[in-house]
Amino acid sequence: MAYNTDNIFAKILRGEAPAFKVYEDDYSLAFMDVMPQVEGHTLVIPKDPTENLHDADPIILGHTMATVQRVSAAVKQAFDSPGIMIAQLNGVPAGQTVFHLHFHILPRADGLDIGMHARNMADFAVLETHAQRVREALA
């Protein structure tokens, strides 16, 4: 399958769709998931047009994983979370719904239920507040 330049993450990278950004460098972008499974659900994407893990340039993937590591530590701190779950889905059978490589960062705690993936849109004011908490933890 050829990379679809009209996917929502490609549009975010081009500035054609809004995002609640928390971190950006030359290789990657991190922002709040607009359909979070838990509070603090954050996404990290490479800026490279890559559909899935298997198509990723190893150099860009390495830089992207460094961002995942840095941002996940900030999410953990910002949401006072004892654990962090990192998820990455490849292909429809795995649950991938946006065909641009991305990593989910989800704060986890005992007794904290995870909502269904890509179901309900969050309040944008809440997402901005959550993004600010992560940005402050990164500072």
Rounded to the nearest 5 degrees, what angle is found at the Cα of 119, between the Cα atoms of 41 and 127?
A: 35
User: pTM here?
Assistant: 0.94
Block means of pLDDT (10 residues each) for the chain, length 139 residues? 91 97 98 95 97 95 98 98 95 93 94 68 95 98
Q: Tell me the three state secondary structure of residue 74.
A: helix
- Which sequence positions are flagged as catalytic? 102
**Domains along the sequence of the chain with CATH:** 8-138 (3.30.428.10)
Phi-psi region of 35 (alpha: psi -120 to 50; beta: other; left: phi over 0): beta
